[in-house]
Homo-oligomer: A and B are copies of this chain.
Amino acid sequence: MDKIKVAVNGYGTIGKRIADAVSLQKDMEIVGVSKTKPNFEAFMALEKGYSVYSPSEKIKKMKEAGIEVSGSIEDMIGKADIIVDCTPGGVGEKNKPIYEDANVKVIWQGGEDHELAGFSFNAIANYEEAIGKDLARVVSCNTTGLCRVLYPLDKEFGVKKARVSLLRRAADPGDIKTGPINAIVPNPVKLPSHHGPDVKSVMPHIDITTTAVKLPTTLMHVHIVNAELATECNEDDIKSLLGGQSRIKFVGQGVSSTAEVMEMSRDMLRPRSDMWENCLWEDSVSIYDNELYFFQAIHQESIVVPDNIDAIRAMMEIEGEGTQSIEKTNRSMGIV
């Protein structure tokens, strides 16, 4: 079988990680990545052996800066079976016409609206619905993290209602443009936040309310999850269920903060010190007054990467079962 030809439009925080993860798969390959600026990421893409493409009007500038450009974005799209659009939120929408012209399959990221693709994806929650689809949107890091816990909880015990406080990092570690640097920012101030409806874009029947703040930290998000379940169960039942999920990692052993979670990912020698799994504090799992509570940390830069790989397999119909694709992706990336 020929390998699926994948192009990554937007080789930034998410795009570069997806390109590397695609390269690890036996059933797919990268045919090109796009950059609009001749920065270190563009040079490193070339060093890794990726063909770099640019918008036509930027090619001259890129070449002048020393980047060997293989062609325009349209040229790149012409070589691909499927595009993973990792351009900044809102830009992905503007790219839709060129994808339509090329009649190519597209995966957008969570920064775009659900309506753009008409289908929102999370590997564990709705892989099978994605099979053969031409357009999909892999939901954001926060929504991915919530789907990974709410889907099994709902399947096993029924989620009557979930209430989640989302504690969001202000900026990524390599980003110097934004704050806050010493404040807590209710964001959005108007409640509830859009994250609840975003979970419903994957699991429409879930009753969920979310609130969110922005914080002066760069490492990870933290979710404080509260859920009323339809079936009586105890803490061991919850730990056994969630601990059995391949993309949920229990943390403890002196890991008391997001800083130590990231230190652990560095010690695991993960590429870019990424953490693709939800990191759930086992000691925090509590049933109190008949309601479930726990803390989990979400690595915003990398958590959606394996789900993008699975979305490619489903849309390209090279794997009919979610569990099979998830296992292939996990094995290739080293998620155990």
Chain A residues packing against B (C-beta within 8 Å) = 161, 163, 165, 167, 169, 180, 182-187, 189-192, 207, 209, 211, 213, 215-222, 224, 226, 256-260, 281, 283-284, 286, 288-289, 291, 293-295, 297
Contact A259 B167 (CB under 8 A): no
Contact B192 A286 (CB under 8 A): yes
Say whether, besides A209-B293, A283-B190, A226 and B163 are in contact (CB < 8 Å).
yes
Which residues of B sit under 8 angstroms from A220, Cβ to Cβ?
A: 184
A321 to chain B, nearest CB (A): 35
CA separation between A218 and B216, bound complex, in Å? 10
Q: List 27 A-B contacts (CB under 8 A).
A: A161-B289, A180-B217, A182-B218, A182-B259, A183-B219, A184-B220, A184-B221, A184-B257, A184-B258, A185-B256, A185-B257, A186-B284, A187-B256, A189-B281, A189-B283, A191-B286, A191-B293, A191-B295, A192-B286, A209-B288, A211-B224, A211-B226, A211-B293, A211-B295, A213-B224, A215-B216, A216-B216
Which residues of B sit under 8 angstroms from A256, Cβ to Cβ?
A: 185-187, 189
Question: Most chain-B CB neighbours within 10 Å: which of A165, A260, A286?
Answer: A165
Known: A163-B163, A183-B219, A216-B216. 17 other contacts (CB 8 A): A161-B289, A163-B226, A165-B224, A167-B167, A180-B217, A182-B216, A183-B257, A185-B256, A189-B256, A189-B281, A191-B288, A191-B295, A209-B291, A209-B293, A211-B224, A211-B226, A215-B215
CA separation between A219 and B184, bound complex, in Å? 9
CA separation between A259 and B184, bound complex, in Å? 7
Say whether, besides A192-B288, A224-B165, A288-B209, A186 and B217 are in contact (CB < 8 Å).
no
Contact B281 A186 (CB under 8 A): yes
Which residues of B sit under 8 angstroms from A289, Cβ to Cβ?
A: 161, 207, 209
Which residues of B sit under 8 angstroms from A294, Cβ to Cβ?
A: 191
Contact A190 B286 (CB under 8 A): yes
Contact B186 A222 (CB under 8 A): yes
Say whether, besides A167-B213, A184-B257, A217-B215, A191 and B222 are in contact (CB < 8 Å).
no
Which residues of B sit under 8 angstroms from A258, Cβ to Cβ?
A: 183-185
The 4 closest A-B pairs by CB, nearest first: A183-B259, A165-B165, A185-B257, A191-B286
Which residues of B sit under 8 angstroms from A211, Cβ to Cβ?
A: 165, 224, 226, 293, 295
Which residues of B sit under 8 angstroms from A221, Cβ to Cβ?
A: 184
Which residues of B sit under 8 angstroms from A189, Cβ to Cβ?
A: 256, 281, 283-284, 295
A179 to chain B, nearest CB (A): 9
Query: Of B187, B207, B213, B257, which is within 8 A of A186 by CB?
Result: B257
Which residues of B sit under 8 angstroms from A224, Cβ to Cβ?
A: 165, 211, 213
Which residue on B lies nearest to A262, using beta carbons?
A: B183
Which residues of B sit under 8 angstroms from A283, Cβ to Cβ?
A: 189-190
Which residue on B lies nearest to A163, using beta carbons?
A: B226
Contact A216 B217 (CB under 8 A): yes
